[in-house]
Structure 1
Amino acid sequence: MFAALIVAAYLSLWPVPIEPVSWTAPTPPGYTGPHAANTRLAGLQQISLGAEAGPEHVLAGPDGKLYTGVLSGKILRMQADGGAQQVLASTGGRPLGLAFDAAGQLIVADAIKGLLSVAPDGRVSVLADRVDGETIRFADGVAVAANGKIYFSDASQRFGPGQRDTMEAAMLDVLEQSATGRVLEYDPAAKATRVLAYGLSFSNGVLMSADQRHLYVCESGRYRVWKIDVDAAKLDVRMASPQAQVLLDNLPGYPDNLVRGEGGRIWLGLSGARNDLDKMAGQPWLRKLMLRVPRALWPEPKPYGHVLAFTEDGSIVADLQDPSGASPVTTGATEAGGRLYIHNVAAHSIGWLAR
C-alpha cells in the first residue's frame, strides 16, 4: 500500500520542465491524396561525414559546393559529390539554418549562439543574440532578402539547446504548446533586430517569397506552414490578420526546413510522422504524466523519411517517402546539380538521389 502511494505521488507531483497548454489538434490526414504512401525516397545514396553527425540543413553555395552544420558545432564545406571535405568554421554552438548574403558571407542560425556571420576565411561574428532585451534562445531557420535584411526564427523562448540538445528542446516545446516561437528580422545597415511575428508553436524553417514581400515559415508544433508579410511588426499570428495566413495546414508530419528548388518549387522536410501526441492535445495533465514515466514508454514519432515540394500557391507538386525508417528525421531537401540532397538531424551522412 505504501509503495502504491509513493508511485501515485511521484506520478502526480514530481516536477517536470513543462507547463502544458490545452489546444485542439486537427484530425491527422494520414497518407492519402497528395501524400499517398510511396517509397520514392528509399535507397538513398550516402555521403559519409566520418565522425561528424547531424547535417540538419544542407546548403548549395554560390561556389557550387555543399555546406552543412553538424552537432559538434562545425560547419563543413565539400564538393557536390562529398569530396574534399573541410571544416570552414566552428561556431562553438549548434549551427542549423544556413544562407549566403550578397557579399558572400555565410549567415548562420545557431541554436545556441544566435544569428552569426561566417567570413570566407572562417571568421565567425555574432550579428544578433538578443531582441528587445531578451535572449534569442533557439535560432533555427534563416533567409536573406534581396535588400540585405535577414529573417530568422527563434523557435522557442521556453526551451533552448544550451541546456539540452536541439531535439530534446524541440520535443519539450511541442509537448508544452505554449507557442512562444517568433520570427525576427535583422537589419545589417542599422545593426538592429526586431520581432516580426510571434505566437508560433516551435517556429522553424524560413524562406523568402519570390516577390520578396512575404516569408514562408514552418510551425512545427502545429503541422503547418505560414505566409507572413515582411512588413509585419510584433504580429501575434494567433489573432486573425491579413498579414498572416496558413498556406499549408494539417500536414502528416512535423514541418522543418524550407529550401527554394528549381522551377519555383519549395522543398519541405517533415522531421517525423505524427503520433499519439495529438490525442493528448486537450489533456495537459497527461502530457505532464508522460514526462514522469520511463522514456521507453513515451509516444515517440515513428521514424519515417518524408520530403515534399509545393508551389507558392500551396499546391503540392512532389511527395517522396521512405517508410522503412532508414532516413528517420528528414529535416529538409536541397535541389542542386541534378541531385536532391536530404537533410537529416540524426544521420552521420548526407543522403541524396538523382533528380
Structure 2
Amino acid sequence: MPRRLIKPRPWTPPPLTDPGPTAPLRVDRLLPTGGRGPEDVVFDHDGRIVTGLADGRIVRIDPVTGERSVLAETGGRPLGLHPRVDGGVLICDHDRGLLEARPDGSVHVLVDTVDGEPLTFASNVVETRDGTIWFTTSTSRWNLDEHLGDIVEHTCTGRLVRRDPDGTVTTVLPELKFGNGLVLAPDESYLLVAETAGYRIRRHRLTGPGAGRTEVLVEGLAGFPDNMWLGSDGLLWVAIAAPRNPLIDRLLPGHALLRTLVWNLPEAVRPKAAPIAWVMAFDLDGTRVHDLRATDGSYGFVTSVAERDGVLVAGSLTAADIAVLTL
C-alpha cells in the first residue's frame, strides 16, 4: 500500500564533512528501565535518572544501584523531559501535548493546542526561573512512527514555542527543520535548539542587546542531532541519532518525484539509518570537545545523552535499557 503522500520542498544541505570520532563510545553497563524506549534521559535535582517509556510511564532510576520507581503515567508517549526542583517533571508527550507530572504522580495538561491547531509531536522542554516554559515541536505533519517522512519531504513545520506563566502560548520560531533538543543557558540569556533535519544547533537569544536574534552555533553536522543536555562539566552534550544519508542529501535540493518514489519503496529496500551509537559534546562557543562513536552493537539509535558529576548516560527510542557510558 502506498505511504502517505509527501510534499517535497527543495533544500541544499551543507557539505558533508566528518572529522571522525575523538574516541570510541564504550558502554560501561546497562540500566534496565522496566519497559522500552527511554527516548530522553535527564538527571533530576537529586541525581536520579528520569526517563519516559513507550507505555507512557515516567520512571526514575538510581544510576548507582539501578533501583527504579514510577513517578507517573501520561497515557501517551512521553518524549522530552524537564525535571523541576519540587520533584515534578515537565513532559513533552507526542500524543497529548505539553504536560506536567506533579510530585504526587498526578498528570495535568498545560498545552494541547498551538496556533489554533492540536499540539502534536512536542519534542523537548525547559523552564526558566520565572516559570516561563519553552518547548519545541518536531513536525505538524508526521507522527513518531513516520518521522522519516518529515526528513524526506523537508517541509520544516517544527516550532519553538513559549508558554508564559499566565498560560499564554506563542510560537516564537516557526519553520524549524524538525525541532528537537532544547537547552537553557545557565544565566538564562539564550536557548540552544537542535534542528535534526538541518544538521545544526541554533542559539536563540532571550536577553541583552541581541534579544530575539537567532544565530547558528554548530552547523554541517555529519549526523542527525536529537536531544541535548547541559552537563555539570559545562559542556553541551548532543545525541546523534544516525549519520546523514548520502542518498537523501543528494535528493534534497530537488528531485520531488524521486523523493516520493524513495518514500514509497517497500520497507526492506528503503534507506535506513546506519547502526551506530553516537554522542558529541561542544563548549558553549560551538567547539567540538568529544565525539564518541561505536558500531559494535553494544547500543544504538541514541536519542538522548546527559552528564552529571562525571556520570554519562544515554537513552534510545528503540532500546530497553539506559546505557552508562565510560567518559
TM-score after normalising by structure 2? 0.93
Alpha-carbon distance between aligned partners in 2 of 1:141 and 1:336, rounded to the nearest angstrom = 19
The structure with more radius of gyration: 1
Displacement of 1:242 in angstroms is: 7.3
Query: Equivalent of 1:100, from 77, 83, 86?
Result: 83
Q: Deviations over 1:29-70 (max 9, x none)?
A: 12x1xxx236521344111224x1111111111122211001
Displacement of 1:124 in angstroms is: 0.1
Displacement of 1:100 in angstroms is: 2.1
> What aligned pairs does 1:184-203 form with structure 2 within 5 A after superposition?
184-187=161-164, 189-203=165-179
Displacement of 1:214 in angstroms is: 1.2
Displacement of 1:265 in angstroms is: 0.9
Question: Who is 1:133 aligned against?
Answer: 116
Displacement of 1:319 in angstroms is: 1.3
Query: Equivalent of 1:179, from 130, 153, 156?
Result: 156
Displacement of 1:82 in angstroms is: 5.2
Question: Who is 1:284 aligned against?
Answer: 256
Q: Deviations over 1:79-98 (max 9, x none)?
A: 12353222211101111111
Displacement of 1:21 in angstroms is: 1.0
Contact 1:223/1:249 (<8 A) preserved: yes
Contact 2:97/2:122 (<8 A) preserved: yes
Query: Equivalent of 1:248, from 209, 218, 231?
Result: 218
Contact 1:272/1:304 (<8 A) preserved: yes
Question: Who is 1:271 aligned against?
Answer: 241
Alpha-carbon distance between aligned partners in 2 of 1:281 and 1:132, rounded to the nearest angstrom = 28
Question: Who is 2:12 aligned against?
Answer: 24
Question: Who is 1:71 aligned against?
Answer: 54
Contact 2:86/2:103 (<8 A) preserved: no
Amino acid at match of 2:205: D
Gaps of 5+ in 2: none
Q: Deviations over 1:227-255 (max 9, x none)?
A: 11237xxxxxxxxx971111110101100
Which structure's residues are more often strand, by fraction? 2
Contact 1:196/1:230 (<8 A) preserved: no
> What aligned pairs does 1:300-319 form with structure 2 within 5 A after superposition?
300-319=272-291
Question: Who is 2:227 aligned against?
Answer: 257
% of aligned pairs identical?
33
Which structure's residues are more often helix, by fraction? 1
Question: Who is 1:169 aligned against?
Answer: 146
Query: Equivalent of 2:267, from 287, 292, 295?
Result: 295
TM-score after normalising by structure 1? 0.86
Query: Equivalent of 1:225, from 201, 220, 231?
Result: 201
Amino acid at match of 1:42: R
Question: Who is 2:24 aligned against?
Answer: 40
Alpha-carbon distance between aligned partners in 2 of 1:326 and 1:99, rounded to the nearest angstrom = 27
Contact 2:26/2:325 (<8 A) preserved: no
Alpha-carbon distance between aligned partners in 2 of 1:251 and 1:230, rounded to the nearest angstrom = 25
Q: Does 1:53 align with 2:36?
A: yes
Cα distance change on mapping 1:78 and 1:263 into 2, 3 Å: closer
> What aligned pairs does 1:232-243 form with structure 2 within 5 A after superposition?
243=213
